[in-house]
Structure 1
């Protein structure tokens, strides 16, 4: 009986950990892996992509700096206040979780924006190649 309980707990924990893995989340499906040479880009397209990539990197650096500048003390006080309550506060827990993952959401949106911009630069033939060869299902890179 003890082994059965341990096995059940182990399976539940494994399932829970698998749910937390990015490749199992919808956002994990956003994995653009492509050697752009297969698209046979024009020099104008390459230049536009270079410019967009630089803009994207600049925005990412700014987002990371903003995250680093957020007040850690405020977050710690929020957690201390949460744990100090005698009853579990679902609403506050929900807010803490949203704050924790808000930056991941912003980064995913920025990434989608970048790839959407790149896709818009392509002609119809290149778009078809991109969709067939460059957008890979999660975990199949």
Structure 2
């Protein structure tokens, strides 16, 4: 079930910030299926063989036309998340023909920050250091 995507405050509570994050999110239960368990194990290996229980719950994040994720800070009570990885599952190229090879590069690109081309099956990975 999708709900409005939230941001985490310094006290650990969540809030909706329509200015920073306009997507919707469905949280997946840990090890809910063998596929989710496999993804968790791969992410844990990719991050230096950490314990998969240290990972944030996996999420399915959905972006509709004109929705976005702007730079923001999530504050986690016990430990801030070290890694983000977005995997693109589905994208309708017929609706969005303005993408260049890797980055979205149009007239407003210098004002909107880095925007990645959504290629199904690809992922975007970054460290929050």
* Length-normalised TM-score, structure 1: 0.20
Higher RCO (C-alpha 8 Å, min separation 6): 1
Which has the greater radius of gyration?
1
Higher relative strand content: 2
Higher relative helix content: 1
* Length-normalised TM-score, structure 2: 0.21
